[in-house]
Amino acid sequence: MSVTAAKGFRAGGIAAGLKPDGALDLALVMADRAVPAAAVFTRNGAPAAPVQVSRRHLAEALGVRAVVLNSGCANAGTGEPGMTAAVETARAVATEIGCLPEEVLVCSTGPIGDVVEVGLITGALPDLVGQTLASAAHGTAAATAILTTDTVPKEATYRGAGFVVGGMAKGAGMIRPDMATMLAVLTTDAAADRETLQSILGRAVAVTFNCLDVDGCESTNDTVILLASGEAGGVDAEALEDGVEAVCRELARAIAADAEGATKVVTLRIRGAVDDDAARRLGRAVADSALVRASFYGADPNWGRILAALGAARIPFDPGKVTVSYQGTVVARDGMSVPGVDHDEVAAELRGDFTVEVVVGDGLGEAEILTTDLTPEYVTFNGERS
């Protein structure tokens, strides 16, 4: 189970006709009543209309009753018509389930540039609401309805001491969150106010989704939402944060594993930076490098490309203290190649998922970044509109 695992939530997904192939494309996650909520949105300077509307609704409403999500159209780069469509979608859902429009958050994903067809959404809403239930199957239907270039739905559940956190996400390309095209909805039956939820979600996103870099391309639509029904009662805030982070981490890895054209997931571990933020920035600079990720595809332990990417980050570090290891084998120490390394043996260890550890100094800052290899299939796939 995912978003339906926590008590007090229902979900569903149907085909509204937004995707020409007739696949599921409209999802609803609904609480039994308006509940405390938190969200983290893209920092992209061209945010999509649903992001702008959801930000406003989250600030205006005392609670959130529902999240409506569509695939097949990002409703981004659509100006006032797009804003109108997002507002009308929220109003239609509110009318159908009996709540205030401000209690509805809106998410969209798909190609940029077209206005979402609100008529298709409003026409499908009665059936969608009727198919929004608390079962695992309905949770999976919702997770399936938000997919675009994904090949599998992404769901996760964490069961803590007396409470549950569930979640679903989508994303396979255009993934470099900064809070790809990615969306995620998390639910918990723990009791928490919105300020606590926002703090918990912000910290969890910082070390999970914001440490995920599939292709260096930041999205206009990135949204992560956390809803809390409170039906399990009060829980320790630290325990709740552990649960939220665990679900976010599992969903982030699922996105990396399903990345467009990717053949392997690569874990970058950065240590020795001046602080954790510097470590994250250094790690993301490495993951942003097409040269580095191409070497991952070729199973080439080319640590020089990593060194160059670190330098391009414009974050102070001492190149003479850099140590790089691939899957446990040190190939560079103190900024120089290690003599006698059998690169063919190292390459054999890089044919599947692997880990690269990079030490940049003596500081306490560290970060773990998830990325993938850059493949010919990724280039071919993204040569066409999707």
Q: Describe the crossing of helices 118-130 and 79-97 by its angle, rounded to 10 degrees.
A: 20
- Active-site residue (options: 181, 223, 371, 372): 181
Instruction: Note if 95 is an active site residue.
Output: no
Strands lying side by side in the sheet with 223-234: 37-41, 223-234, 183-191, 164-170, 154-159
Distance from C-alpha of 50 to C-alpha of 109, rounded to nearest angstrom: 10
Instruction: Please name which of 56, 54, 101, 51 lies closest in space to residue 78, comparing C-alpha atoms.
Output: 51
How many CA atoms does the CB half-sphere of 146 hold within 13 Å? 34
Cite the beta strand spans of 77-210 per DSSP E: 104-108, 154-159, 164-170, 183-191
Q: Compute the distance between CA of residue 174 and CA of residue 181 in angstroms, rounded to an integer.
A: 5
> What's the rounded Cα separation, in Å, for the pair 260 and 141?
22
Task: State the catalytic residues.
Answer: 181
